[in-house]
């Protein structure tokens, strides 16, 4: 798989395009497909750029193809929501059997989120699979698992999305949960054996650096606490502006402190929460982002699940030594999740600050993970359920944080993944009424927006169900993969 970023080969041109704002959305240029060899485009640009009457936009439009940059959905008739989603599965299906521009090739067809997101996304795909299961589209579920496995085997991990400029980061590691879902759907336990090597490879990626990391610091995605325990954090290998948000990052950096501002930004993207006050040292401003200083509760719960799955797949192969190794790792991590993320004072799961050796103040909905995965005890679950009911559940669904910062992963926005996590988490511990309320509040919000606009959105406003959700670096998108998946799955339960 080519790791060559053609964007690097046209550095000057790319920089000029992004700084001149000829496209409203900076992602347009990263997704463009060159119509000529990149060396030829570069040569033309260098020759022409200083000549009289040179028009940058005309030059770009004549040297690149922008046809695949967006997913547009046109619907004449107003179908019932489930029928609309069934049609959407086909409209959101893509193939990439060869590399095109920044798009990575994948062996199987896949579902894209929609709107400006016209490529395969990692954690989105799990929530898409929830809906594919309801729709009986088992082959597409298998395709998603196979594509993830292909990426892990060839790249070493599943990138944030299937583009060359995402080869420096992943997203929340959902592969083991995808396998659970596929096994549950097909009743084929052999899938754990079939993908054992893939599970191990992904685990090695997240644990890379473990041997060398010192107390109170981090190497890549691994941190060692002051007490000497190993936890994980989100990380990105690059410390440069994100190509897809190039100018935004450069402008935000102007008032930021710290040498690793760009890496902190990118590491926030690996979490899927781009962006949230959860990552900000002052709880308010993106310039204070410090993702690298935190070990996150969601990530460590997902890695507990990966360790547990590796124990299971080892057991199925009678590999006792391996099974015991992963049982021990999972047991140790379970204990550390309670030690480092459970905050006795507020009775809530929080992230852990590696340098300060404290829980972070941010109250956020990733506290659901220990309940979603059955790690919390009954007392902890009851306290989290109380917080969910009092602080996070509004008439339009569960919000992600209790802080209104203008960032899209903060109040007042409700995102599909956390409606499913919330519903399932509450069901796991017998809070059935609360689970129903989460489901009904969000689903009725989705139905209302669909009735008014004919669209399924990327995110929803949970507080003011009269308006469309906002915040973030780009407008709310229509499609939308994980909303479709979670809506269908919730309706089944």
Which DSSP string do the residues of 261-309 spell out, in sequence order? HHHHHHHHHHTT--S-GGGBTTSS-GGGB-GGGEE-HHHHHHHHHHHHH
The average confidence (pLDDT) of the chain is: 96
Q: Look up residue 364 and give its two tokens.
A: 């956020």
**Catalytic annotation on 65?**
no
Residue 465 has a pLDDT of 81
Annotated active-site residue in 31, 244, 270, 274: 274
The string of pLDDT tens digits covering residues 145-160 is 999 999 999 999 999 9
| Amino acid 170: pLDDT | 98
- 18-71 pLDDT, tens per residue? 999 999 999 999 999 999 999 999 999 999 999 999 999 999 999 999 977 788
Assign residue 225 a region: left if phi > 0, alpha if psi is -120 to 50, beta otherwise?
Answer: beta
pTM of the predicted protein model: 0.97
Task: Output DSSP code: residue 364.
Answer: B
Catalytic residue check, 347: no
Residue 347 and residue 306 in contact, taking contact as beta carbons nearer than 8 Å: no
Retrieve residue 139's tokens.
Answer: 């082959």
Could you say which of 119, 296, 458, 478 is catalytic? 458
Give the pLDDT score at 468.
80
**Residue 394: phi, psi to the nearest 5?**
-120, 180
pLDDT at 3: 40
pLDDT beneath 50, residues of the chain: 1-3
State the pLDDT at residue 469.
84
Note the pLDDT of residue 76. Answer: 66
Alpha-helix runs per DSSP H in 93-166: 122-134, 138-155
């Amino acid at each position: 798989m080519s790791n060559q970023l053609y964007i690097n080969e046209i550095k000057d041109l790319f920089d000029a395009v992004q700084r001149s704002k000829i496209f409203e959305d900076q992602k347009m240029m990263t997704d463009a497909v060159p119509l000529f060899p990149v060396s030829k485009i570069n040569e033309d640009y260098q020759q022409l750029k200083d000549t009289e009457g040179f028009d940058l936009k005309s030059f770009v439009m004549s040297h690149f193809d922008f046809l695949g940059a967006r997913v547009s959905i046109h619907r004449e008739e107003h179908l019932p929501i489930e029928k609309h989603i069934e049609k959407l599965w086909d409209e959101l299906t893509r193939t990439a059997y060869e590399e095109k521009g920044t798009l990575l090739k994948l062996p199987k067809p896949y579902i894209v989120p929609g709107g400006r997101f016209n490529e395969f996304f990692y954690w989105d795909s799990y929530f898409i699979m929830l809906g594919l299961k309801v729709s009986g589209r088992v082959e597409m579920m298998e395709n998603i698992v196979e594509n993830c496995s292909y990426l892990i085997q060839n790249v070493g991990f599943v990138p944030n999305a299937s583009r060359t400029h995402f080869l420096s980061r992943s997203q929340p590691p959902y592969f083991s949960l995808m396998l659970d879902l596929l096994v549950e759907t097909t009743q084929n336990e052999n899938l754990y054996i079939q993908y054992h090597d893939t599970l191990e490879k992904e685990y090695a990626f997240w644990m890379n650096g473990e041997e060398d990391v010192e107390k109170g610091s981090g190497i890549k995605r691994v941190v060692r606490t002051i007490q000497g325990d190993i936890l994980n954090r989100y990380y990105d290998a690059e410390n440069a502006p994100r190509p897809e948000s190039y100018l935004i990052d450069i402008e935000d950096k102007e008032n930021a402190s710290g040498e690793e501002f760009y890496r902190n930004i990118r590491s926030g993207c690996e979490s899927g929460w781009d962006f949230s006050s959860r990552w900000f040292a002052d709880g308010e401003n993106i310039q204070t982002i410090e993702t690298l200083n935190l070990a996150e509760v969601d990530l460590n719960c997902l890695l507990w699940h990966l360790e547990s799955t590796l124990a299971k797949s080892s057991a199925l192969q009678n590999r006792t030594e391996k099974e015991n190794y992963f049982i021990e790792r999972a047991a140790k991590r379970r204990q550390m999740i309670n030690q480092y993320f459970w905050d006795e004072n507020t009775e809530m799961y929080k992230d852990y600050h590696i340098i300060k050796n404290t829980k972070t103040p941010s109250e956020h909905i990733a506290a659901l993970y220990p309940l979603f995965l059955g790690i919390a005890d009954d007392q902890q679950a009851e306290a989290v359920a109380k917080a969910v009911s009092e602080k996070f559940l509004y008439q339009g669904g569960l919000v992600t944080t209790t802080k209104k910062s203008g960032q899209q992963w903060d109040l007042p926005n409700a995102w599909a993944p956390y409606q499913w996590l919330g519903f399932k988490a509450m069901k796991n511990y017998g809070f059935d009424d609360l689970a129903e309320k989460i489901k009904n509040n969000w689903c009725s919000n989705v139905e209302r927006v669909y009735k008014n606009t004919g669209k399924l959105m990327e995110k929803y406003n949970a507080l003011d169900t009269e308006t469309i959700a906002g915040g973030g670096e780009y407008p709310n998108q229509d499609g939308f993969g994980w909303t479709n998946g979670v809506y269908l799955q919730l309706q089944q339960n």
